[in-house]
Amino acid sequence: MPALITARRLEKTYTTGDTITYALRDVDFEVHRGAFTALAGPSGSGKSTLLHLLSGLDRPTRGEVWLEDTRIDNLGTAQRANLRLAHFGFVFQAYNLIPVLTALENAAFVLELQGVPKREREATAMHALEVLGIAEYRDRRPNQLSGGQQQRVAVARALAANPKVILADEPTANLDSKTGAALIEHMKRLHRDEGVTFLFSTHDPRLLEHVDAIVEMEDGRIVRERALHAA
């Protein structure tokens, strides 16, 4: 099966004076449609950097990133933003909800950027909130929601736009064990019932128990890939 996302010989460096720091070194990686895969490794291993490069949020120092048959790393800033808007959902560790918007408005925000008419985008966003079990909080703003509820709104926002893949950066890191387990169950159901492709960065063993593959990273390199039979 052709890869949905392909990374070839990715390298990301940062220069401070005469010092070069490698965030990623010579990474080759593929994400296939229908994946439920985790990037695992300690802080500083390159997980978040790889997610940012795969989605076009950042550009590599060297190497290539392809979304199916489109190379994205050499696109301009506006082109990459348009591509993300059309094809990627991103769930940030810090949620990144807009404080003045309700849960429903936050979930519909990407659809608004896409130019979807109000009635249609609200219906689509409402369905996403229902799928994630938080429809009753549609009129609450982020400061009226718990951390777990905010994270589910962030997932709903990503899901509502019907992206080709959802990238999630440490999605359970700020959640207690009960809330984290509930979010994992919701994401598993989205994967199973809606066919959503997920790629996570995580070091949470609760999430690693449920993925179909683990890609282990150390010092900016992929050191091991393990295919699993997820529960």
- Domain extents for the chain? 31-59+86-227
Check whether domain 31-59+86-227 has CATH 3.40.50.300, yes or no: yes
Q: Which residue has the higher pLDDT, 148 or 218?
A: 218
Q: Give pTM, 2 decimals.
A: 0.87
* Residue 95, amino acid: Y
Q: Tens of pLDDT along 74-117? A: 999 999 999 999 999 998 878 889 999 999 999 999 999 999 99
- CA 207 to CA 47: how far, in whole Å? 15
| Residue 231: predicted pLDDT | 47
Q: Tens of pLDDT along 31-80? A: 999 999 999 998 899 999 999 999 999 999 999 999 999 999 999 999 99
| Residue 148: predicted pLDDT | 87
